[in-house]
Amino acid sequence: MASFRPGSAPKSTERPVTPARFERPWRRAPASWAASVAFALTAACGGRRTPPPDDALDDPVAVFEAMLDRLELVQSARILATLEYYGPDGRVRGTEAVLARAPASLRMEAISPFDTTLYAFMVHDGALAYLDLRENLFVSGSATPENISRFVPFALSAEDLVRVLLGGPPLDAADPDPDTYSVRWDDRAGAYALTMPAVAGGTLTLQVAHGTWTVVGARLEDAAGDVVFDLREGNFATVAAGDAETTMPRVLRLRMPASDIDISLELDRIELNAELDSALFVLDPPPGADVRRLP
């Protein structure tokens, strides 16, 4: 069984700097949009109890492998999304153009109301790059979760971000041995609850849909039982994936209580298994840019 640990990133030989918080170029969000996202997720969770299907699985390894088999069908995605962020900085909203390619290549561009790029953020081959086109600021460094969270409001690794955007699970926190997992049918979610021990203590519980094997939720708790993150997905639709089809969420919500962060992502357009060249995930500093390096 393959390991889910991210590979070690190259160390910088340049003078490391710790930049100030970068302004997020998102517009303030109307309450009506937030209400529609909350409604979609509430409807996805549902108030009714759903009994297990007649052919329900009781083997956690079988559920886990079915989920990974489904993820193998989706190797890349081109997404146009509306992102809404609630946190210590307030509530903000923006449009994001996203490219994701397994296992850990990511490109995000913030789009202005005038359809121009405000910033570009890329992760590829263990490194990240960020370009603020308003300030002509270029930042590069190792693609650690800490560095990634400086630029996008997700405290996840690049591998986990890509998996989630492709309709799969965040797995980095989990023990990679499926023999340690347990499974039960969650009749409130209408899905399997696949529970995995977390490497650092605590548990990661994935909600997995029967038949489509798409992840519909994920919750990581630490050894004290406190929630590290809670991911919910809803408004599912069937999307073409090359010669096949798969189910994808149209709405994702990620809460990180310790950071007082609540993020909603509405996927307005999705193209799966698009041909995405590696050059799309590489960014060089433009002439005259203020170049900085993260540890």
Cβ(281)–Cβ(200) below 8 Å: no
Q: DSSP string covering 134-148, please? A: TTTEEEEEE--HHHH
The dihedrals phi and psi of 192, each to the nearest 5 degrees, come to: -70, 145
pLDDT tens by residue, 261-274: 899 999 999 999 99
Low-confidence ranges of the chain (pLDDT < 50): 1-44
Alpha-carbon distance of 278 to 118, in angstroms, equals: 22
What the block records as the tokens of 66 is 């079915």
DSSP code, position 179: G
Please tell me the class of the 31-293 domain: mainly beta
Predicted structure pTM score: 0.81
- Report the C-alpha dihedral over residues 153, 155, 158, 163, rounded to 10 degrees: -90
Residue type at position 179: D
Cβ(226)–Cβ(82) below 8 Å: no
- Report the C-alpha dihedral over residues 175, 153, 279, 100, rounded to 10 degrees: 60
